Structure 1
Amino acid sequence: MISLEILITYSVIFVMFLFLVMNWYSAEIVILSVVMILVWTGIISLSEAFVGFTNEATLTIAALFVIMTTIQKHPSFSKVTGLVFGGKQTLRGGLSRMMVVTAGVSGFMNNTPLVVLLTPIVKKWCKKHSIYPSKLLIPLSYAAIIGGMCTLIGTSTNLVVHTLMLKEGFTGFTVFELALIGVPIFVFALIYMTLLGHRLLPDYPGNYSDVKEYPQFFVEVQVNEDYPLVGKTIKEAGLRTLKRGYVMAILRQGECLFPVSSQQIIKKSDHLLFVGDTSCAEEINQFTGLTVEKIGYEFTYFGNDYKFVEAVVPQHSEFITNKIRDLNFRSKYDGVVVAVYRNGTRINEKIGTIRLKAGDMLYILTSDNSSLPMRASGNLILLTNHSSSKGVSLRDWIPVTVFGLMITCVALGVLQITQAAITTVILFLLLRFTTFEEAKDSIKWEVLFIIGGAFGIAEALINSGAAEHVANSLLFGFGNSGPIALLVMAYLITNLLTELITNNAAAVIVFPIIMTIVNEFSFNPEPFAVAIAIASSASFATPIGYQTNLLVYSSGQYRFSDFLKIGLPLNIVCFITSIIMIPLFWPLT
């Protein structure tokens, strides 16, 4: 008979899955709420609920965020981007070179900022060689994901599973141990993408940033002498409530007023610049004294003080479900949204009325000294060129050298990964390569909250007996099928949950269930931990299963079906490779 504690745990976790799949709230809010419900119901204590916030995985991941942000902002790191394509000029040559370089770098840094860094470089190369960006952006994401599988620090999931193993009294992973599976998977993925995958990839232009190809964004309007509302504000003139556009900027006697508030006074001979299309122009023509001069304003007249920025709404953004007009872009971020793309298609509605969803691509006009990158951090991921004209000095190489020494010490067993990472951060602070404020801002707190909360949920599964109950149910169907069948089951369950929720939460939830069965049959736990680590990162079939997929989903103008068509075969390749290779390196019994 199922106990009340098990029923409560099942119910709470089911509701958690529902909220995460439906994306009603951000993942960290859902998971932390679930943890507190489990505390209130007495399933776990307060100390058990937050044990995940002080374990090695959480501390190490926090330190690695600081380390990689410090390295990325130095000129020495920007030189790596020049290696992405080298002198390659063909699709196959560029694809293979890009995947190799991306996977290699991704093994040592967080893959999300890497994809953010490389996306504009890939698109620039594609434009130069007349190749559709959609042929390369999905492979870019896949290479970053697989590269992260290969090392202990390549992805947060590997560190989470490593910590779970240590908690159970097992050895844990060495720095390059998972490369025994990750490298073969990458080789097969490279062969698949260069021989077949690129043929399945669609031909989408991906040219958001080419303003001249999108003249429907802008309408230029002149204020004539007979306009009756000269001297009134934009709001009083009724220009803030248009159905198909809004005033973005005013050109006045050679000066550009940008961004424009609703209280801006309209003067004679002003040139009003609206975000809109032909339907916006038709609406403006109904006003006496306003003349539509052109549709498709040349922004070269703005000079070099303004720029266009592509930004993706990530899964955990507070902007999700909000209307753009409620976000106060002009006042908070010194910029205006001129277009929104979803599922590869521009949303032809008034910008302010659009409710944002995860994966939306925003096309933003902003000034060079805008506060957008700082203030919107965490809610938007900016896809901009990261270049530096600064020369590389000897001092610039010190952070890279210190990081290399950290990896070496951990690989040789001189230091534990957590000890080495935190020591590296302290050295960066003492040597003034970063400040405490910069270090604090570089940490992705939502990721830490998800990981810390997931450990609390794992404690609830164990305390309530739910993990044992699920394990016994699986054992009933599992019977005496052998360790290979359990390995397959561990991989498939983890991989399915990864596509539905988050990879870290999937790993933490599946781990205690599988380990209960492993202990029952006295199997070797290590190969099953490897399967969970690999499966929780192997998210290729949907754009929502992994952050890098969501980034290229928007930037490449992909459809959801494109990921299924390209990623599902790769999921199968990854599964088969793992099930064959894992027993070769880690005995199952």
Structure 2
Amino acid sequence: MIMESIGLTPSTLVFIVLGLTLAAFMWGRFRYDLVALAALLGSVMLGLVPADDAFMGFGHPAVITVAAVLVISRGFERSGVVDIIANQVLKVGERLLLQLLVLVGTVVVLSGVMNNVGALALLLPVAMRLAREHNTSPSLLLMPLAFGSLLGGLTTLIGTPPNIIISTYRGNVTGENFGMFSFTPVGVVVALVGLVFIVLVGWRLTPKRSGQASTEEMFDTANYLVELKVTEESKANGLTLHQLHDELEETIPVLAVVREDNRRAGYSFHGVLQEGDILLLEAGPDELKLLEDKVGLSAIAEPEEDNETDRDEADSENGASQPLDERQPVDTEGLQLIEAVVRSDSMMVNRSVRQLRLNQQFGLHLVAVARDGGRLKQRLRDIRFQTGDVLLLQGSENEIADSLATLGCLPLANRELHLGQPRKLALSIGIFALAILAMLFDLLPAAVAMSSAALISLLIGVLPLREGYQAIDGPVIVLLAAMLPVGEALETSGGADIIADALLRFGVEWPIIVSLAGLFILSMLLSNVVNNAAAALLMAPIAASLAKGFGVSLDPFLMVVAVSASCAFLTPIGHQSNTLVLGPGGYQFGDYWKLGLPLSLVVMVVAIPAILWVWPL
């Protein structure tokens, strides 16, 4: 066995594996599910995890429950439950405090009954529309909204993966899991206090980023759109748009082709270019030189005298852009442009336009990319997408929603709210209510009840099967399944006892509440650099050893881990909700702690006494 040959104790090896795993999480070079899988396989090779038990985590109740909740959450979205709520949120008016109260309050409630990332994703376009309609900086709304989704997850068993993990761990130790609403007394108190703090004080601590409230301002689109004419001598004459891109060896989005006063969107133009065609496309100085040198296209300097009047009338009727030197701001709605943010689970992450074949496979033209609140100036073909990037895309109005869903992008602009079918709306709520009742009366375990609800939703058509599979966040499932055996190795190797003994020696002369505060801070800091589910998995055995050392009840220690693992307020990488608002809000890495640190302290000060009151030592 490798462990025997290198002469190290199991606990030492566990600490080495976990140290390398945490370093890889913080480095961010590799996705967290791959890091977790490497940690699992390394633990097996070192003899820390039995080979026969290596993949038992994929059938673990906590993993199954998380997957089922993700499917149910997508069913809520599909049936129109959240659209009804969002439609009301849009009526709040222009007062910022009222906007914050309604937005954050709504996401807190939704996050208690569905996945908190899903709840945020549904209300993010609503917040963006509110900001644009009332000329408010989105940065004042989006960070509070993201933090509200984390607070709302504290209120129920299914609100966030750490609660499910802690409940299952308690069941393994004591034989009885936490129930659906065991987290509610403490969670509601913490969420309400956090909501009040964010609405009255917290938003003042968020940076106000200007210039992010509209597509034109963020991307400065009008200054980059140019008109180019196909002449008889142009090499582009007789080429299709696809062949044009091949000649250029560059992806330069052709937004529209104007021919004889008729304007066709670039994505729907499949013919060959002819003499006299005018191309409306998005290009900077480098791209313009490339277009002129390689295919003989150059910008129109001034309108032709012979048909200037006709062209003006055609532009008025068809919405085409004016010539470069005298055009008005471009009608982006007519061009069917849409903004979308790249999610952390998107297939686009670390891939380029060419690798994804956006145009050929998805029918999408990439017009521009914004990162950290500013437009990227490099060539589109050279950009490798990152989580939180905001994309300006053009595509078919009928197909763009499906394409974005497949790519793993969240639409931010021009997203219309559509009420679901009343029958499916009632069915979705009814199925979920039956699952909750089955859990409340101990008729079914959480994993079975939630899985049954997800299955019934798929069988009766509340959610199409394809969307059901898409709803399951594969990286999170792999992370949980891989880290569960590693977390158990921390306990079985004696590593958890070593950490607990160190905390006991530190806190032996202090009241137990001080040790609880130390456990809270340690778990909270961990959750800000690794996934919160991983933080809960690693801290649960330490909490159990600490409670055993003090000779007191296990429950308050586990509840401290459950709450603190969801307090990922300090960095944009601690939770998917934080990452999701990074681009649209124009935030920088260091912006999060300005609101996150005070909010974390408020949560700790409120949560620990509330836990001790509900779950006494």
Taking structure 1 as the reference length, what is the TM-score of the superposition? 0.90
Task: Report the alpha carbon displacement of residue 103 of structure 1 after superposing the two structures with TM.
Answer: 0.9
Among 29, 32, 41, which residue is 1:36 paired with? Answer: 41
Q: 1:219 aligns with which of 207, 226, 246?
A: 226
1:14-43 CA distance string (max 9 Å, x none):
222222111111111111121112112221
- Structure 2 CA distance, aligned partners of 1:385 and 1:64? 28
- The Cα shift of 1:425 comes to 2.5
Higher mean alpha-carbon deviation, 60-69 vs 404-413, is at 404-413
Q: Is the 8 A contact 1:471 1:516 kept in 2?
A: yes
State the shift of 1:532 in Å: 0.6
Of 196-205 and 508-517, deviating more is 196-205
Match of 2:396 in 1: 367
After superposition, the C-alpha distances for 1:248-295 in whole angstroms (9 at most, x for unaligned) are 34515235363499x985432222333223554466566755234428
The offset of 1:170, in angstroms, is: 5.2
SS in 1 for 2:594: helix
Q: Following TM superposition, by how much is the alpha carbon of 1:191 offset from its aligned partner in structure 2, in angstroms?
A: 2.7
Map 1:245-260 to 2 at 5 A.
246-249=252-255, 251-253=257-259, 254=262, 256=264, 258-259=266-267
The equivalent position to 2:160 in structure 1, one of 151, 155, 158, is 155
Q: Which position in structure 1 is the counterpart of 2:210?
A: 204
Secondary structure class of the residue paired with 1:402 = helix
How far off is 1:524 after superposition?
Answer: 1.0
Aligned to 1:291: 299
1:294 partner letter = L
Work out whether 1:131 is the aligned partner of 2:131.
no
Q: Which residue number corresponds to residue 277 of structure 1?
A: 284
Aligned counterpart for 2:275 among listed residues 264, 268, 273? 268
Asked whether the equivalents of residues 494 and 535 of structure 1 are also in contact (C-alpha less than 8 Å), the reply is: yes
CA distance in 2, matches of 1:308, 1:472: 59
Q: Give the alignment partner of residue 540 of structure 2, picking from 511, 535, 540.
A: 511
Corresponding residue for residue 53 of structure 2: 48
Q: Deviations over 1:369-422 (max 9, x none)?
A: 336735763643343666455674345312212212322342344443223212
- Measured after TM superposition, the shift of residue 467 of structure 1 is 2.4
CA distance in 2, matches of 1:546, 1:585: 27
Identify if the C-alpha distance between structure 1 residues 314 and 82 changes in structure 2 by more than 3 Å, giving closer, same or farther.
Answer: closer
Q: 2:446 is matched with which residue?
A: 417
Distance, in Å, in 2 between the alignment partners of 1:449 and 1:298 is 47
- Separation of aligned partners in 2, 1:391 and 1:430: 18
CA shift for structure 1 position 166: 0.7
**What pairs up with 1:160-239 in 2 under 5 angstroms?**
160-169=165-174, 171-201=176-206, 202-210=208-216, 214-227=221-234, 230-231=237-238
Rounded to whole Å, the distance in 1 between the matches of 2:486 and 2:460 is 39
SS at match of 2:350: coil
**Aligned counterparts of 1:460 and 1:397: Cα–Cα separation in 2:** 45
CA distance in 2, matches of 1:259, 1:204: 32
What is the CA distance between 1:124 and its match in structure 2? 1.7
Matches within 5 A, 1:75-154: 75-154=80-159
Instruction: Name stretches of at least 5 consecutive residues in structure 1 with no aligned partner.
Output: none
Which residue of 604, 610, 614 corresponds with 1:581? 610
Contact 1:151 1:176 survives alignment (8 Å): yes
Letter aligned with residue 504 of structure 1: A
Alpha-carbon spacing, 1:322–1:419, altered in 2? closer, same or farther (3 Å): closer
Paired with 1:453 and 1:252, the residues of 2 have a C-alpha distance of 55
Q: Residue 107 of structure 1: SS of its match in structure 2?
A: helix
Structure 1 partner of 2:357: 328
Give SS of 2:324's match.
strand
SS in 2 for 1:564: helix
d(CA) in 1 for partners of 2:366, 2:571: 27
> d(CA) in 1 for partners of 2:513 and 2:82?
43
Q: CA deviation at 1:2?
A: 8.8
Report the AA paired with residue 266 of structure 2: F
Structure-to-structure mapping, 1:528-567, within 5 angstroms: 528-567=557-596
Alpha-carbon contact 2:75-2:463 (below 8 Å) kept: yes
User: Partners in 1 of 2:49 and 2:594 — Cα distance?
Assistant: 43
With over 3 angstroms needed to count, the CA separation of the structure-2 counterparts of 1:540 and 1:217, relative to structure 1, is farther
Q: Deviations over 1:16-72 (max 9, x none)?
A: 222211111111111112111211222111343223222221111221122221222
Q: Is the 8 A contact 2:57 2:482 kept in 1?
A: yes
Moved more, 226-235 or 454-463: 226-235
Secondary structure of the structure 2 residue equivalent to 1:336: strand
Query: Superposition pairs for residues 303-314 of structure 1, below 5 Å?
Result: 307-314=336-343
Aligned-residue sequence identity (percent) comes to 24
Give the letter for the 1:209 counterpart: T
Measure, in 1, the Cα distance between the counterparts of 2:193 and 2:54. 41
CA distances 1:441-500 after superposition (whole Å, capped 9, x unpaired): 322222111111110111221233322333334334344434212211221111111111
1:66 equivalent to 2:71? Answer yes
* Structure 1 residues 106-137: Cα deviation after superposition (integer angstroms, max 9, x where no partner): 11111222222212212222222232222211
Instruction: Note closer, same or farther for the CA distance 1:297–1:267 as it changes in structure 2 (3 Å cut).
Output: farther
> What TM-score do the two structures reach when normalised by structure 2?
0.86
Range 451-460 or range 76-85, more displaced: 76-85
